[in-house]
Structure 1
């Protein structure tokens, strides 16, 4: 264990899910700790905000925290690479929990989930069906399926599905896969292309510079494997199945990734009897990834939220 972190392989479908486990100060393996699974954004990895910001902070607050790379991404297995499949991404949570409940220092009755951006949509889907998850916190949560039908497909999901079908046929006949980067290569390139949206510009600043860049954070979609997202919705039947306590953290600056709108929708629709909406004033989507003021304010709500529900 280095710096209170250890990396373990978690058995998934047919490959390992790379997971960083963060330990609280003074960790004692003979004791039992409430535990939080931390999930990264779409196209990100565990080395970024889910681990180095929120994972670290929650561990310092007394939790064991498991930050994992999604299947097909980062250091996790799965081929082809850069696949963003909602079925696999949702099931990753349960595989990580399967591993955690075998650890003697994990309180199997007090496991929560914290997820950021697109990872939060998958966390919602996982929390609906895995009752071992006792509390859910989302930070600038998004619903990638909804975005796929909207801006990601240029509001033409059927046209996108036709193009994906053609790409799958081409790959089956020996042509190369198409891996699309979701972002411009640099702020300068974005500005030259006329990009003005705050989310796209700040995402580029986070993922394409030393601010947040990490080897596993590819910010890419495998186009030929993108179809499942077009027919998926993270919020499907949350009025029935999302009953666990819920804390939704958003900023008040709207952008193209719609976390403000989608976070308020989740808060309003969830069946959770104990739920809270936290709006961090003056914060954008990416401020809540790593900026000390906004992330600190988010944690001021998340830490007592988990403290209340993971006793």
Structure 2
């Protein structure tokens, strides 16, 4: 799947209208998003809406657009957005990652969608892909306008430690991480600019990588999902904000609004969805897609359960 001439990793369906929109979040940052709807949509009526956030380091031209388009074909008005400081959205320094602001970005997307005269403000839901899954849940914990929240291949970024992709860090490791970030802040002060983590490489040798990194590179580095604004490098000092944030600390505040957690049978991230499912009071549903890996839930329209998503949101509204 090579990057199309329009800059997207997927083709626009002939039945669907897509137009760029701009609006601001409550921090005053200009957000860049794409609005999707059926060309045949009668704008004299009001329709349910869904906002879609990208994987951590992803952009709207990748997976979020895939979801937004497919759900627009099913009668929803959808909005796929770039997080603050990333993609075409505003904010400086670039490539900053903030769990609080990324959660706010979902609420800002709801603001914009609900401002459209053909969207029913009482029927707006959200979908978070990968890292946005944790941010979408966090936003729903405090923003009761989000009537239902779904995640796909969810990651809780605040639960990821440097000893691996699982939340296995000890308190000693956590303190060591904070100490290293503090040292990096002094380096940033002396350099006059924040240092970035490594960007995605232009090519890679799969034999030299661990399975999780190899899977991510299969999407972000190859023609399947590569995009010039999705480079993988965040400011190193951003990590401190995630350490103490706890994106899914108050899941009980989402109830009685429903949660749908979609994960893959072979997804390395599967335990994140299972953990949220075990702790959320409900209503809730866990869908495990047979044969699917983590990245397959980014763009594999033959594997992503869009029928279930449609059913879930319509029932919630």
Give 2:289's match in structure 1, choosing from 280, 290, 295.
Answer: 280
1:4-56, Cα deviation, whole Å (9 max, x unpaired): 011111112122010111012412222211000001010111111011x1111
Q: How many residues align?
A: 298
In the TM superposition, what is the alpha-carbon distance from 1:97 to its structure 2 partner? 1.4
Give 1:270's match in structure 2, choosing from 266, 277, 280.
Answer: 280
When residues 149 and 238 of structure 1 are mapped into structure 2, their CA distance, relative to the original with a 3 A threshold, is farther
- Greater helix share, 1 or 2? 1
1:62-110, Cα deviation, whole Å (9 max, x unpaired): 1000111000000000000111110110111111212222210110000
Establish whether residue 9 from structure 1 lines up as the match of residue 9 from structure 2: no
Provide the rounded CA distance (Å) in 2 between the counterparts of 1:149 and 1:203.
17
Instruction: Please give the TM-score of this superposition, normalised by the length of structure 2.
Output: 0.88
Provide the rounded CA distance (Å) in 2 between the counterparts of 1:168 and 1:94.
30
SS at match of 1:206: helix
When residues 154 and 175 of structure 1 are mapped into structure 2, their CA distance, relative to the original with a 3 A threshold, is farther
Query: CA contact under 8 A between 2:199 and 2:231: conserved in structure 1?
Result: no
Provide the rounded CA distance (Å) in 1 between the counterparts of 2:105 and 2:253.
22
Give 2:191's match in structure 1, choosing from 168, 174, 180.
Answer: 174
Establish whether residue 291 from structure 1 lines up as the match of residue 272 from structure 2: no
Provide the rounded CA distance (Å) in 1 between the counterparts of 2:162 and 2:141.
22
Matches within 5 A, 1:18-167: 18-51=32-65, 53-148=66-161, 150-151=163-164, 155=169, 156-167=173-184
Establish whether residue 309 from structure 1 lines up as the match of residue 316 from structure 2: yes
SS at match of 2:19: strand
Aligned-residue Cα RMSD (Å) equals 2.0
Query: CA contact under 8 A between 1:25 and 1:62: conserved in structure 2?
Result: no
In structure 1, list runs of 5 or more residues that go unmatched. Answer: none
In structure 2, list runs of 5 or more residues that go unmatched. Answer: 1-13
SS at match of 2:188: helix
When residues 205 and 177 of structure 1 are mapped into structure 2, their CA distance, relative to the original with a 3 A threshold, is same
Partner of 1:206: 219
Provide the rounded CA distance (Å) in 2 between the counterparts of 1:83 and 1:264.
28
